[in-house]
Amino acid sequence: MKFISVLFFTAFLALTSTVSAFEVPALTGPVMDQAGILQASTQQSLAEDIYQFKAKTGAQIQVLIVKTLDNEPIENVTIQIFDK
Measured CA angle at 40 (ends 68, 75), to 5 deg:
25
Please give the Cα distance from 45 to 39 (Å, whole number): 10
pTM: 0.69
65 membership: H or E segment, kind and range: strand 63-65
- Write out the chain's pLDDT in tens, 84 residues: 554 544 454 444 444 445 568 899 998 999 999 999 999 999 999 999 999 999 999 999 999 999 999 999 999 999 999 898
pLDDT of residue 18: 53
pLDDT of residue 6: 42
Measured CA angle at 48 (ends 42, 49), to 5 deg:
90
pLDDT of residue 19: 59
CB count within 10 Å of CB 27 equals: 11
pLDDT of residue 51: 97
